[in-house]
Structure 1
């Protein structure tokens, strides 16, 4: 005799079919699925990437990139038809930020991450929100004014950054004899310069200006040197979710062409920013102005 097998009821089958059909019709992709089901979006942020993404003394994440991500989150909420969308923040470092996206721990990384070919193998990027390049922070009384002057001296950069990769490559190829040090985060790297543990800190110049402004005695530091690299900074997204990327790209382009992004830029680069209410006084550079004339997620690096 064959064992009897209980079949699912007709109503159960119809319910399951409705879920599948309804889901496919309105939203798709792993990140959007998770956001819809949980009613929350996870934003990866940085601790000391002033003014892009940093933490105030009360542990509240703020910054230029986070303001942009807030606008993007609101558009995602509307597209998914949610009455509200909770934002959950995840603190990441240069060494952990890519994994936070690839492992599905965060839906967007909102900081000062460079969009380059190596990272695009693992993640996706939207339209750049800043274009910068590697320069050097040194003590105000230092005679160092470019990479060549660091020969036989100590130059620090942050783990997992394109700046660290660039100075290491140039040091090796040009036989400069620089002793390259690695710091776990930007704040530590600045402290190493202030204490004399390092003669300079190589990083995107905009981050250096932001870090300088946030120090107790900013006049003791200065930023020097020509651009060693050109870095298009952009919000990082999962590579396997084109639906999410399409929504984000469309809104980023709208913010730029409507000049709403200019207002957000002015808030963080031209006006006093927390916690010290000191202005960076960094007008938009020609590289970003030109790029925003025809905003795109494509970069030639």
Structure 2
């Protein structure tokens, strides 16, 4: 029969092994000199493409700041939203910065740094009646709803909008155009995405909710077994918050429309 000391020794060995693994993975990032950040490139104003094909946005700026702070070269890896967490867990990317909401389900499998922003579920529509909604049941009628596949908006719609005709797309621009072209009645998305659509298409009769229907923290997704890496990213993120850099970035991307000229 194993003694208490034996179990204690096993526990110490396991904890030491986990710490070494975390340190080893962080060391690999440092040795490579590269920080691989996953994002969609299709979630304005978090990330989107310019006319020249360059990727810009709030999350792009944040990724650049983190990489520069860590003295690493930034490598942005673009992929559909639904592939971000699987790619992170498979080691294809080092972290995810893509307007990702911190949920209990995601946090049960992955660590998160932040939040770096507080958002909430809203809708984009042409209907002033629907835009007066105060809760999901106000729009849970026989209408066409579009949202991003693999997102918390999809889960929100599937949970609360059981009487609608739900369409899933891989790109918010597709969803926005479906509202503009009257192919869907409502787009469910985080408030910043809805606000972006209003800025970009001011003459398309688009309206959004006065207040989001939920409160959702947005953070940086990281591997669950990289405690030292999580600590490092969280410390840099806290520094950016404390110095007011994130506030300036929010003004740039969510209040100032001039960057739209690049699209």
1:210 counterpart = 2:181: no
8 Å CA contact 2:38–2:95 kept in 1: the answer is yes
Match of 1:165 in 2: 155
In structure 2, the partner of 1:265 is: 250
Tell me how far apart the structure 2 counterparts of residues 103 and 218 of structure 1 sit (CA, whole Å).
44
User: What is the match of residue 135 of structure 1?
Assistant: 122
> How many residue pairs end up in the alignment?
239
Distance 2:203 2:93 in 1: 34
Which of the numbers 83, 103, 110 marks the counterpart of 1:96?
83
Instruction: Please give the alpha-carbon distance, in whole angstroms, between the structure 1 residues aligned to 2:258 and 2:79.
Output: 22
1:200 maps to which residue?
186
Task: Please say if residues 156 and 180 of structure 1, whose CA atoms lie closer than 8 Å, have aligned partners that are also in contact.
Answer: yes
Q: For 2:93 and 2:203, how far apart are their aligned partners in 1?
A: 34
Contiguous gaps of at least 5 residues in structure 2: 1-19
Query: How many Å apart are 1:93 and its aligned residue?
Result: 1.9
Give the equivalent residue in structure 1 for 2:111.
124
On the 8 A contact 1:214/1:276 being kept in 2, the answer is no
Is structure 2 residue 50 aligned with structure 1 residue 56? yes
Deviation at 1:149, TM superposition (A): 3.6
The structure whose residues are more often helix, as a share, is 2
1:191 to 177, 180, 187: 177
CA gap 1:29/1:228 in 2 versus in 1, 3 angstroms: farther
Compared CA separation, residues 155 and 123, structure 1 to 2 (3 A): same
Mapped partners of 2:195, 2:144: distance in 1: 20
Distance across 1 between alignment mates of 2:111 and 2:182? 38
**Structure with greater Cα Rg:** 1
Kindly state the Cα deviation for residue 225 of structure 1 after the two structures are TM-superposed.
6.1
Distance change (3 Å), C-alpha of 1:111 and 1:127: same
What SS does structure 2 have at the residue aligned with 1:96?
A: helix
CA deviations 1:55-76 (Å, max 9, x no partner) are 2222222111221222211222
Instruction: Tell me by how many angstroms 1:209 deviates.
Output: 0.8
Q: In 2, Cα distance between the equivalents of 1:212 and 1:137?
A: 9
Alignment pair present for 1:250 and 2:235: yes
Q: 2:23 aligns with which of 10, 28, 38?
A: 28
Aligned match of 1:235 = 220
Instruction: Please say if 1:45 is aligned against 2:28.
Output: no
